[in-house]
Chains A and B, each alone.
Chain A
Amino acid sequence: MANADLKANRPLSPHLQIYKPIVTMVMSILHRITGAALYFGTILMAFWLICAAAGPESYQFAMDVFGSFLGRLVLFGFTWALVHHMIGGLRHFIWDMGHGFELSAANWMARATIVGSVALTVILWIIGFIVA
């Protein structure tokens, strides 16, 4: 196959757009998307810490940015991405241990991932508003 023409117009195997989105597949995709979002989200963490290290004025600037409506919206999304990616990761640990491969278990865990991540995010923000 060394001389195969890779750019030839071959029939393609079915891909994402062909399949009906099922819950395990959507959770798998969300795990990757939240991971990638968190990757760039670390810019916010670095911004927060650098502003604090630079002095009181820049710390206040960072607080104003995060405290604005848009800032809170982004942080809410950040929280959900973090929680979702973590619960998705716990699901992967279960699979790593050799459990949860039955269709019913996999579907149950996928639903628990999305329900759990949304619920936990809301709970964390309620706690945040209570302690504020």
Chain B
Amino acid sequence: MTDMRTPLGKVRGLGSAKDGTSHFWRQRLTAVANVFLISFFVILVIALQGADYASFIEALQNPIISTLLLLVILVGCLHMKLGMQVIIEDYFHSEGLKLLLLMGNIFFASFIALASVVAVLKISFGG
């Protein structure tokens, strides 16, 4: 017998955490996207190093650059939220502290993502 799962468990699928392989899948999906997005980001930062204010703003008002930069922010923050969640689950075993850190992780990732998105949108819409 190689499969220990009951037929009912197999049909319902999701296992004890009730989210199946969704964490793994999102981790790898964002990782694949990040290979391209972070490469773009590094090239962008190198290209913009030492740029004066006017040329920086001009670059971010290019819709392709701002769209890719928004993807860098969103996909990057989702990937790091997933990664830090695993670190917290690995090292913190007291329920209360773990819950607090898992919440803080989501708050931090959301704040960084949204603050950066607002900044990019403000620049690209010319504000």
Taking beta carbons and an 8 Å cutoff, which residues of A are in contact with B? 32, 35-36, 38-39, 42-43, 45-46, 49-50, 52-53, 56, 59-60, 63, 67, 79, 82, 86, 89-90, 92-93, 96, 124, 127-128, 131-132
14 CB contacts below 8 A, A to B, read A36-B83, A36-B87, A46-B112, A46-B116, A46-B119, A50-B116, A52-B57, A53-B120, A53-B122, A56-B53, A59-B56, A86-B34, A92-B31, A132-B49
Of all chain B residues, which has the CB nearest A45? B116
Is the beta-carbon distance between A82 and B42 smaller than 8 angstroms?
Answer: yes
In the complex where A45-B116, A53-B123 touch, is A82 in contact with B38 (Cβ < 8 A)? Answer: yes
In the complex where A63-B50, A127-B46, A132-B50 touch, is A39 in contact with B115 (Cβ < 8 A)? Answer: no
Interface SS majority for chain B: helix
CA of A64 to CA of B83 in the docked complex: distance in angstroms?
32
Contacts A50-B116, A60-B53, A90-B35 known; list 10 others, CB within 8 Å.
A35-B87, A38-B80, A42-B116, A45-B112, A45-B116, A49-B120, A89-B34, A96-B28, A131-B46, A132-B50
Taking beta carbons and an 8 Å cutoff, which residues of B are in contact with A? 28, 31-32, 34-35, 38, 42, 46-47, 49-50, 53, 56-57, 60, 73, 76-77, 80, 83-84, 87, 112, 115-116, 118-120, 122-123, 127
